[in-house]
Structure 1
Amino acid sequence: MKNFGISLLAALFILCSCENDKADGNNQEIEVNEDISSFKEIGTITIGGEAAAEISAYDEITKRLFTVNNSNTNQIDVIDLSDPASPKKLAVIDLSVYNGASNSVAVYDGKLAVALESTTNKQENGKVIVFKTSDYSVIKQINVGALPDMVTFPPDGKYIMTANEGEPNADYSVDPDGTISIIDVTNNYAVTTLNFAAFESQLAALKIKGFRISKKAKSFAADIEPEYITISEDSKTAWVTLQENNGVAKIDLASKTISSVFGLGYKNFNTAENGIDVSDKDNAVSFTPWNVKGLFMPDAITSYTVNGTQYFITANEGDAREYDDYADVARLKSLSLDATVFPDAATLKADAKMGRLNLVSTEGDTDNDGDLDELISFGARSFTIWNGNSGSLVFDSKNDLDKRSNDFGTYDDGRSDDKGSEPEAVVVTKMGDKNILFVGLERTDTVIVYDITNPSAPQYLQSIKTGDAPEGLLFIPAAKSPNKRSLLVVSSEGDGAVKFFQPDLL
């Protein structure tokens, strides 16, 4: 665990600069002395029940937070954040009139972009609606691909991007292409939507690197399911997670093309440093080696640059395909194991051993004889730092997220058989001369904070208790914050709470 030597950085002088503070139109620099290992909750607001607070975006001009609310409704809740210690619901943007349900929001320079999937037919094309943050009037409606699951602006605000997941219907009779849409804000919101058909010829090579195509795939392009987007600091490159495919796509924004697709490979849980708890029925929490591999299958993604090298960071959640006509998940005890490879199969199938572990049932039969020669599970139970150019692994957090959650008292042993702490969200930010990473864990209701200034040797800083099932993380730097202090905003879909965290002053 040498990469995780505790380095609390008890004192850090933070210099926050804002090139153009939209709130008052003045260039300014803000000097704040903050202890970055001391984030504490300063305010909270509950906007509904389950699914009420998935993703939030902040507008520094109006000092408003815009939060997706799908809790028995279809709207964006507008929160007055002028006092983060006392947030107040200000207004509602009703989305029912647009024949779409919101999945994601993003803000840039007074513009709110909302990604909407079709409410009449999920396999039809979705749309992005751009509102003014000041009065919620519509600026533009743009058609994009099917099921836009995430929307974002690059740092320069010239484009709006969506990851269009393109999920099949319940019986798999209709499966639209998974696509990525690039909307040119500077060209009257002209849209370019990219699919992955051109990469089908690379499938054999991609499979060697752990890239997956479903047994039910109608085509390579239809099977791809883009999930989440991050864009480089120079606004020239984007990386998009392809969660169910265990891959990441690299996008050249200047040419509006997909330049690369990376297969992310497998994680070996049969080592001490990667050891996991595989049973929810063993009456214990024990992170030990098991003869099983994990597909990274990342959900959220973020990126940063160190010494001219670009990196992207993934939250390796894992995700099964479960439909009426097809499912690729099954418990180990229900599957046939190769007797030569697993002579102790009967023992392994006990509930207190590996029997309860959910596996990717369609993977692992390497000799095609009907039994499993390898055991492949969902997710890597970690965050990973990857080289942005090559897609090669630079650092993986091993089993640190589960162990830290257990030490913090939030680990849920009831999820040991199914992806553990379940890393859901990641966001990286610059604080002074340090690069700080926040990792949201859906099943342990925790955010864990690391200093990742050295990409190959992150240092643990702090664990933070959140609401139920944190889904969205948002960092507001002091220069843009309503109280000119750094703010971490955590939106939790389990209880509909949005919580605000701030570090102590020194």
Structure 2
Amino acid sequence: MRTLHRTVAAAAATALTATALSAAVLAPATTAAPAPHSAAAQKGHHAGNHGKGHGQKANPSGKTVELSPAGTHETGVFDTSAAEIPAFDASTDRLFVVNAENGAVDVLDVDSAAAPTYSSTLEMAGVAAADGSVIPAGSTVNSVAVHGGIMAVSVEAPEKTDLGWVAFFQTSTLAPLGAVRVGALPDSVAFSGGYAVVANEGEPADDFSVDPEGSISVITVPKSVKQFSRLSQDSVRTVDFRAFDEGTELPEGVRVFGPDVQTPAGQPDAGYIARNLEPEYVTIDPTGRTAYVSVQEANAVAAVDLKSASLKDLWALQLTDWSTEGKFDASNRDSGIELRHWPVLGVPMPDGIDVYRHRGQDLILTANEGDSREWGDYVDTERVKDLTLCEAEYPNAAELQKNENLGRLNVLTDLGWDAERECIAQLHTLGGRGFSVYTADGERLFDSAGLVEQTIADLIAAGELPVEAFNANNDETPSFDSRSDDKGPEPESVVVGKVQGRTYAFLGLERIGGVMVFDITDPTAATFVDYVNERNWDAEEGDEANYGDMGAEGLEFVPASESPSGVALLIVANEVSGSTTVYEVNPTRK
């Protein structure tokens, strides 16, 4: 591993002074729609436009693509992760969907109209691995990826701090091709050309008694099914972060925090930083040479050279300055949609990421979800009203800490803390409530900042969405404004697709649900195109069978050249509702 020492863009953002930010704290609010006396009072408003199956969407002039639902597969299982990550195989027109509830992969057939139907369920238990182990019952499937008629599946051990597996199957016969052992809690897996790459998250035990190291496994995959007899444990090479505990300087802005506990028994010892960094999501560049991996809680992205299985780079993501870059609703007790500038920095901490080529360069998109750590007695967040704010930076602290202002907002407690004065000198909130575009060396080209929340507010004002949609939760209805004090719409995943020569970002929103589409043909000036959401806003509380799609988790874009209908597809797996919806991405201009 080469020495990584570089001042990243995030450093400039963290240098902002809280004094300057606080001057903008009570700027006039942008209220996009009248506030109801209660969310329930709005129930049924514009019911003909936003019931189940109507696909709420905006209709901006000049819209170049429009998403229309082709069909939905429903597991009938609510709020137990029965549909998480989808992967489509063009050679068989099969759709593979992670069903974490069953510890399996559901196999769906996609017909010529792009409608999915259930075919079978593929169990992981009993698959033999190259190291002599066998995947046991009780294991959890976390991710799936397909390439060249072969499927890779990441499998978490029943005890999540134990080492996991990546299993391989033939997509046509569904026959197992073998498995290899990887790191603890293998999460996202990506598959391209000769390599499968998995992010071994290495979360600590729930009681924070032990903490495995985070790592990235690069698996050299045989080129054909017939050659899979060559798959061995030696096919796995591991990229770790141990160099940062051994003298390599950690890049500025990469967040390392929390208790220092031992690795699990039987696993090699690793230092504090190596255990603290937890890879989350993997994407591989179109050339198949480099993998980019989000390290969510650290607010960082790692670049991995696949040929050498080495860490090329690690860089922190630039923070969002909510005093100038965008407006957001910070409270679930402000009785309405209140979009304002606030003296807060947003820490992107992306979950899903994707990469595409633009003018010969890799550009990385990040879905800036944000995440907290809550293990055992350790929690890294607190509400602003419960903190001591430094008087010099926040002379209006009493006003800020009211529930209707910033009082209810959850912020990170390890950032902005002034140990000498024993107070918070700068507030940092979780996530960026949108998406960003970066170069491969960490320069931010675009940040959507408040665009997602403002768009939802505009759709409500235009009658395209009911008011209870704003910052709603993903497992209850109605739940107007309930997520404003946390991470808002909470973008979970992002994928890139090209249609008729234009490039689009599809952004899944975990809380309100649905997918927003942005034109990123010019990566420095992304524009909103469309929004679809098959959630049924008119469903009664407790009527889970009629909720529609809730909790968009994983996305898959299928180009028109690989689609069974001849039209590009967007596939959305919805974690809470356990449903998978296939959309056709229809160009509106010929």
Question: What amino acid is the match of 1:266?
Answer: L
How many angstroms does 1:176 deviate by? Answer: 0.6
Structure 2 counterpart of 1:492, from 566, 574, 584: 574
Distance 1:96 1:355 in 2: 48
Q: Alignment partner of 1:479: what SS?
A: helix
How many angstroms does 1:371 deviate by? Answer: 1.2
Kept in 1: contact 2:330–2:405 (CA 8 A): yes
How many angstroms does 1:503 deviate by? Answer: 3.4
Partner of 2:360: 308
Change beyond 3 A, Cα 1:139–1:203: same
Change beyond 3 A, Cα 1:290–1:257: same
Partner of 1:228: 281
How many angstroms does 1:481 deviate by? Answer: 0.9
How many angstroms does 1:140 deviate by? Answer: 1.2
Question: What amino acid is the match of 2:70?
Answer: I
Q: Which runs of 5+ in 2 are unaligned?
A: 1-58, 127-134, 223-229, 262-271, 460-464, 472-480, 535-548
Structure 2 counterpart of 1:40, from 54, 65, 68: 68
Partner of 1:342: 394
Show the 5 A alignment for 1:9-408.
9=62, 36-47=64-75, 48-50=77-79, 51-71=81-101, 73-97=102-126, 98-99=135-136, 100-119=139-158, 121-154=159-192, 157-186=193-222, 188=231, 190-200=235-245, 206=251, 208=252, 210-218=253-261, 219-271=272-324, 273-388=325-440, 390-408=441-459
Change beyond 3 A, Cα 1:373–1:201: farther
The alignment's TM-score, normalised by the length of structure 2, stands at: 0.77
Of 179-188 and 196-205, the range deviating more from structure 2: 196-205
Q: Alignment partner of 1:435: what SS?
A: strand
Change beyond 3 A, Cα 1:357–1:135: same
Kept in 2: contact 1:84–1:500 (CA 8 A): no
Change beyond 3 A, Cα 1:301–1:8: farther
Question: What amino acid is the match of 1:500?
Answer: V
1:470 is aligned to 2:506: no
Deviations 1:440-487 (A, max 9, x none): 111121211111111111122111114211001111111111122211
How many angstroms does 1:132 deviate by? Answer: 1.3
Deviations 1:317-362 (A, max 9, x none): 0000001131101111111111222222222221111110001012
How many angstroms does 1:201 deviate by? Answer: 6.2
Of 398-407 and 79-88, the range deviating more from structure 2: 79-88
Q: Alignment partner of 2:489: what SS?
A: coil
The alignment's TM-score, normalised by the length of structure 1, stands at: 0.89
Kept in 1: contact 2:114–2:565 (CA 8 A): no
How many angstroms does 1:500 deviate by? Answer: 1.2
Distance 2:333 2:247 in 1: 42
Distance 2:433 2:519 in 1: 19
Kept in 2: contact 1:170–1:325 (CA 8 A): no
Kept in 1: contact 2:410–2:429 (CA 8 A): yes
C-alpha RMSD of matched pairs (Å) = 1.8
Question: What amino acid is the match of 1:147?
Answer: L
Question: What amino acid is the match of 1:178?
Answer: G
Distance 2:112 2:554 in 1: 21
Q: Which has the higher strand share?
A: 1
Deviations 1:278-336 (A, max 9, x none): 00011111211111111110100001111112110100000000011311011111111
Partner of 1:23: none
Distance 1:488 1:63 in 2: 14
Change beyond 3 A, Cα 1:194–1:108: same
Distance 2:247 2:531 in 1: 41
1:450 is aligned to 2:450: no
Of 197-206 and 452-461, the range deviating more from structure 2: 197-206
Kept in 2: contact 1:70–1:102 (CA 8 A): yes
Deviations 1:246-292 (A, max 9, x none): 10001111211011100113211112x41111000111112111111
Distance 1:486 1:370 in 2: 55
Partner of 1:414: 482
Kept in 1: contact 2:96–2:107 (CA 8 A): yes
Partner of 1:17: none
Distance 2:206 2:512 in 1: 30
Distance 1:235 1:164 in 2: 20
How many angstroms does 1:84 deviate by? Answer: 4.5
Question: What amino acid is the match of 2:190?
Answer: T
Change beyond 3 A, Cα 1:46–1:75: same
Q: Which has the higher contact order (CA 8 A, sep 6+)?
A: 2
Identity over aligned pairs, percent: 37
Q: Which runs of 5+ in 1 are unaligned?
A: 1-5, 11-35
Question: What amino acid is the match of 2:258?
Answer: K
